[in-house]
Amino acid sequence: MSPAQSQIRPGNLVEIRTPHEILQTLDADGTLNRLPFMPEMVDLCGKRFRVAHRALKTCYYGESNGMRKFPVDDVLILEGVRCSGLDHDGCQKACMIFWREAWLQSVGSDQASASRDVEQRGKDELLRRLKTTQGQGKYFCQASEILNATADLSRWDRISNCFAEVRAGNVGAAEMIGRVASWLFWRIRRVLFGAYARGTNTRTPVASLQLQPGEWVDVKSIGNISETLDPNAHNRGLYFTPDMRQVCGKRCQVERPLERIIVDGTGQMRKMHNTVYLKGGMCGCIYALGGCPRGEYSYWREIWLERADRSVDAKRRGQDESVADPALTR
């Protein structure tokens, strides 16, 4: 089914089908067209969400990285629905979940809230079909299977996909023109000047702040960060992407430390050290032609950050409390 033929478009309200209905769509491995339905998705059955995007393509990061397409254009991303990782030993990658259209049904905006109960027996039957591992030391999830569920993008695919994104309703024509212009700028810049913010280190340095959720940090300047990078703009294998420059010099709040993620395409759990998420810090994929709907978090090495002044934090908290407590504003 092509995006133009589908009745489900970005902004539509959809309901996730019951466990029994979803079970009928899955093969013996718990997948549909090689895309797994994961245990973390089961408790969402019967609930309603808005469609954020049609996922015509996706980025991937692992032993290699790049962009891939879904051979069957029936994959959607729902607003704010990320994988908790609870059934995969606490993976913290927090991937946006991909949904096949067969797992969803359209809901009219004027319809009442869903009333049917999702039977526990149906959940148990579905959970028995799903798997979380594939051999010793390898996990099984949408991230591990992303290369199997997608196909290479040819040069023509990369161009035609930009038009398909507009037809699908993911983005307007003006915004797509801006995305293409941004991609072209960064591509030319890399050819002429090399990786953005690249450093000169052959062995990149490490620093630990032991940051905790809710702490405030100041992001260092580009100049200071480049001193921690190698010529390819990596620090211990982690890429400082061009869009991360927009946060440099700003004060941000730590979402949480990042300690373990399942690597795209391999199923291996990789331990992370001295790395955090910052609130609202998403990858813009400006170096991908037409952008990417996956909405990955940007990963920040602690050496790129400085703990904010504690007196400033105390003042900030005091201001927040005075606004939040009505008794203090009378």
The tens digit of pLDDT for each residue in 51-102 reads: 999 999 998 887 778 889 999 999 999 999 999 999 999 999 999 999 999 9
Give residue 312's pLDDT.
52
Sign of CA dihedral 109, 113, 115, 118: positive
Residues 221-241 have a mean pLDDT of 96
3-state secondary structure of 162: helix
Question: Domain spans of the chain?
Answer: 13-108+115-165, 216-316
Average pLDDT of the residues in 8-35: 96
How many whole angstroms separate alpha carbon 241 and alpha carbon 222? 11
Give me the pLDDT at residue 281, please.
82
Under 8 Å between Cβ of 44 and 129: no
Q: What is the pLDDT of residue 112?
A: 47
> Average pLDDT for residues 165-194, to the nearest whole number?
92
Q: Is it the case that residue 300 has pLDDT exceeding 50?
A: yes
Average pLDDT over residues 218-238: 96
- Give the pLDDT mean for 257-270: 95
Rounded Cα distance, 4 and 110, in Å: 24
Nearest to 298 by CA among 285, 311, 313, 288: 285
Q: Which pLDDT belongs to residue 322?
A: 42
* Averaged pLDDT score across all residues of the chain: 88
Mean predicted confidence (pLDDT) in 185-205: 94
Provide the pLDDT for residue 329. 32
User: 270 exposed, middle or buried (CB, 10 Å; 0-12, 13-18, 19+)?
Assistant: middle
Alpha-carbon torsion angle 245, 251, 256, 258, nearest 10: 30
